[in-house]
Chains A and B, each alone.
Chain A
């Protein structure tokens, strides 16, 4: 029987009281994204009243110092602008700091005592969410320590409280390491306790993909190889690697963006309708797509994959350095900052439709979009139309979220045909600022909703597809890096990849 005071449709999503413990609390992600997100949740009244957030990190700091730093961070990075003092006064009382080393058991034992003290005071019933915003190499160590100190519960034995762990990407660095990491984590956690975060999935525009596809019969009926010629997915950034040199030297762009964000976008674009909107139903369909992607053949790697690295160039008219000149980057580094791929999905819907993916740093502009290129209509009536661009649907993920449809129209007073664009801009219609991805994802984790988190088999499937490419790139002769100028649209070889098939990258 439903609760008499809860009304379907009114967002009365009940969230159990809980503590949120952030590992790596002095890091960039905490300041830029996590704390502003938690503050905004508090501001919106979305957090449970019995709640506290504890920062765990190695630097010496008092609760007050942590609060002061976080207040500055929230003021600087929150989507809602300057801190609302009336909200902060109360919110800061829910912020704490715990100093400890990740590898020292003593620190976890003290943490346990502190959490129990808070739980007694706040009545959070022992519910805990651990957010691992650290280097991936610390994930197993932290989980092991949490487990050995009894901070994580076995959900099969303890039913009246929960412990969950949010893990930042990347989950492993190839197929083998992802499996190893999962095996490691499963010693201390069950799969249902692991929330692999990919903040792209928390973006409103990415969530809208499912609505766009499955709430509009107009598009879904055309969404197949009969009508679609090819698909282009672009994740372009105009910024360089900033202070992430050391990380990027280890990871490279394929691991940083393609394996997670781009594969998520691809699976959402290509998946079949799920049987329901439950977490597993959606993720089952996404995994099916990933499994249907034709494996990359090592002997043909050069035909389907291109890598690049930026050299010097200009962004916004200002000179910028090349990748090899960035901080913490080797002067002869061969790490890729650009990737272009051609993927084929061997299933009924997508047979013969190439999916071209490109992602890069220091490209001409910051843009993430999915472009669906439709086939030309039969060239019977308007023969010259073959020369005109075919219909194009562009779904913009960021910035300027929205979509545009290009159709051909008759020019008034003339017999010629001209393409025109119908453009829908999310911000124009729905105004205001949308919740940040992290706000949605943190809240979903607290409620135990894993729909917007990557499941283990999704991650494995993605790695299984891309690991042969990583290995091939190790073995193939080194590229003549840098091979594209900062501020351009990538290397010439990427153009060749698509142009040899009579297509072109969309000029965005």
Chain B
């Protein structure tokens, strides 16, 4: 990918020049959304950059990548490039990168505004803890149709939840940690779809959730998914802490990403047990075993669809509205 350092005033004209070259290669300029990525330099940066590449495979968009750099970098650096998912792809899109130090933060919204394509939805992925009061954050709240966060980046989930609820007053919100649980949520709601099974679930006395805790990447909180899963079950089923005991346990499994839920065990008061576990050799395969005092079912196998990097972000970009269950969880946490 050719990235050109340009003066802020030359962003659009340089992009047009680059497009002339790309058009010669039969690439069409596609823009489905204005997608704003914000992150700060550090461990998380390569991951966010990789996410951009994944997202444009599905949704070629005008990408505005904002990187907050540490001093003593130059205050503002802007670059442009034409971004394509592959050499063979017949479409490509614009990438505008803005690097700024804290001192120049106040200038970012002014840099951003002229480069938003009109009439296209604006979606922002804020790969950091919410920063109310920051000029950029405050502007994105107003401009964005949706702000996407990742509570795995939060050090403290309750204040994070409070912030998300505040943002929700202004635009739709998504949490990638919540989105990553989609397969598990689907599996649980399918397993307990029937009234008979649901009754058993209401009668739960113990839940054990095992999650993956790797050393790296350290910036992602390992228990965030397990924590959300637990909270979801409690608030959707009306479980009481005095009645249902819930343990979150950690284990290390190199084949799975940080924070992935590895297994769930649900034990009812009459001794029935539902055990869901990922096949550690084939991580998208999950088995479910049911046993009671009187019978033991043959294990059932489920497939989790693609869990490749970027999948959750892509599904959240495409989502309509805000997950009602997520809001319920956030309110419960607050």
Q: Which residues of A contact B (CB under 8 A)?
A: 3-12, 14, 42-50, 86-87, 89-90, 121-123, 425, 427-432
Would you list the 9 A-B pairs with minimal beta carbon distance, nearest first?
A5-B189, A45-B303, A49-B300, A45-B305, A428-B91, A44-B305, A86-B282, A4-B236, A428-B30
Contact of A12 with B28 at beta-carbon distance under 8 Å, contacts A90-B301, A90-B303, A123-B297 already known: no
Q: Which residue of the partner chain A has the closest CB to B201?
A: A5
Pick the contact of B189: A6, A42, A86 (CB < 8 A): A6
A427, B57: Cα distance in complex, Å: 10
Residues of A within 8 A of B28 (CB): 425, 428
Contact of A5 with B298 at beta-carbon distance under 8 Å, contacts A10-B323, A429-B60, A430-B58 already known: no
A5, B186: Cα distance in complex, Å: 8
Residues of B within 8 A of A5 (CB): 185, 188-189, 192, 236-237
Is B288 touching A49 in the complex (CB atoms < 8 A)? yes
6 further contact pairs, Cβ within 8 A, besides A10-B182, A428-B60, A429-B30: A3-B198, A4-B237, A9-B321, A42-B303, A44-B303, A49-B300
Q: Which residue of the partner chain A has the closest CB to B319?
A: A9
Residues of A within 8 A of B183 (CB): 45
A46, B85: Cα distance in complex, Å: 27
11 contacts between A and B (CB under 8 A): A3-B193, A7-B325, A9-B321, A12-B185, A14-B193, A42-B303, A44-B303, A87-B303, A90-B303, A428-B60, A430-B32
Kindly provide the distance from the CB of A77 to the nearest chain B CB, expressed in whole angstroms.
20
A6, B197: Cα distance in complex, Å: 14
Q: Which residue of the partner chain B has the closest CB to A86?
A: B282
Answer whether residue B285 sits at the interface, using C-beta atoms and an 8 A cutoff.
yes
Is B189 touching A3 in the complex (CB atoms < 8 A)? yes
Kindly provide the distance from the CB of B131 to the nearest chain A CB, expressed in whole angstroms.
29
Pick the contact of A429: B59, B282, B305, B325 (CB < 8 A): B59
Chain B interface size range: 35 or more
Residues of B within 8 A of A3 (CB): 189, 192-193, 198
A292, B58: Cα distance in complex, Å: 42
Kindly provide the distance from the CB of A435 to the nearest chain B CB, expressed in whole angstroms.
12
Kindly provide the distance from the CB of A118 to the nearest chain B CB, expressed in whole angstroms.
12
Is B301 touching A431 in the complex (CB atoms < 8 A)? no
Residues of B within 8 A of A425 (CB): 28, 91
Is A45 touching B320 in the complex (CB atoms < 8 A)? no
Is A90 touching B319 in the complex (CB atoms < 8 A)? no
Q: Which B288-329 residues have C-beta < 8 A from chain A? A: 288, 297-298, 300-306, 319-321, 323-325
Q: Which residue of the partner chain B has the closest CB to A48?
A: B190
Is A86 touching B285 in the complex (CB atoms < 8 A)? yes
Is A49 touching B302 in the complex (CB atoms < 8 A)? yes
Answer whether residue B75 sits at the interface, using C-beta atoms and an 8 A cutoff.
no
Pick the contact of B284: A4, A86, A429 (CB < 8 A): A86
A279, B90: Cα distance in complex, Å: 37
Kindly provide the distance from the CB of A269 to the nearest chain B CB, expressed in whole angstroms.
26
Is A430 touching B323 in the complex (CB atoms < 8 A)? no
Contact of A432 with B57 at beta-carbon distance under 8 Å, contacts A7-B325, A46-B305 already known: yes
Contact of A7 with B323 at beta-carbon distance under 8 Å, contacts A123-B298, A429-B60 already known: yes
A40, B282: Cα distance in complex, Å: 17
A42, B325: Cα distance in complex, Å: 27
Q: Which residue of the partner chain A has the closest CB to B321?
A: A9
Residues of B within 8 A of A87 (CB): 284, 303
Kindly provide the distance from the CB of B123 to the nearest chain A CB, expressed in whole angstroms.
15
Is B91 touching A45 in the complex (CB atoms < 8 A)? no
Contact pattern, B 247-279, Cβ under 8 Å of A = 1, otherwise 0: 000000000000000000000000000000000
Is B185 touching A43 in the complex (CB atoms < 8 A)? no
A431, B28: Cα distance in complex, Å: 13
A260, B46: Cα distance in complex, Å: 52
Q: Which residue of the partner chain B has the closest CB to A400?
A: B90
Kindly provide the distance from the CB of B16 to the nearest chain A CB, expressed in whole angstroms.
18
Kindly provide the distance from the CB of A443 to the nearest chain B CB, expressed in whole angstroms.
13
Residues of B within 8 A of A89 (CB): 282
A429, B291: Cα distance in complex, Å: 48
Residues of B within 8 A of A14 (CB): 189-190, 193
Kindly provide the distance from the CB of A374 to the nearest chain B CB, expressed in whole angstroms.
24
Residues of B within 8 A of A86 (CB): 282, 284-285
A50, B190: Cα distance in complex, Å: 12
Residues of A within 8 A of B324 (CB): 7-9
A50, B299: Cα distance in complex, Å: 10
Residues of A within 8 A of B300 (CB): 49-50, 123
Residues of B within 8 A of A49 (CB): 288, 300-302
Kindly provide the distance from the CB of A438 to the nearest chain B CB, expressed in whole angstroms.
18
A9, B319: Cα distance in complex, Å: 8
Is B320 touching A10 in the complex (CB atoms < 8 A)? no
Pick the contact of A428: B90, B288, B298 (CB < 8 A): B90
Kindly provide the distance from the CB of A45 to the nearest chain B CB, expressed in whole angstroms.
4
Is B57 touching A431 in the complex (CB atoms < 8 A)? yes
A283, B182: Cα distance in complex, Å: 33
A430, B323: Cα distance in complex, Å: 22
Residues of A within 8 A of B190 (CB): 12, 14, 48
Is A10 touching B186 in the complex (CB atoms < 8 A)? yes
Is B320 touching A9 in the complex (CB atoms < 8 A)? yes
Residues of B within 8 A of A42 (CB): 303
Kindly provide the distance from the CB of A93 to the nearest chain B CB, expressed in whole angstroms.
8
Most buried by A among B90, B297, B301: B301
Residues of B within 8 A of A11 (CB): 186
Pick the contact of A121: B298, B301, B305, B325 (CB < 8 A): B298
Kindly provide the distance from the CB of B322 to the nearest chain A CB, expressed in whole angstroms.
9
Kindly provide the distance from the CB of A405 to the nearest chain B CB, expressed in whole angstroms.
16
Residues of B within 8 A of A7 (CB): 185, 323-325
Q: Which B12-39 residues have C-beta < 8 A from chain A? A: 28, 30, 32
Q: Which residue of the partner chain B has the closest CB to A80?
A: B306
A43, B284: Cα distance in complex, Å: 9
Residues of A within 8 A of B186 (CB): 10-12, 45
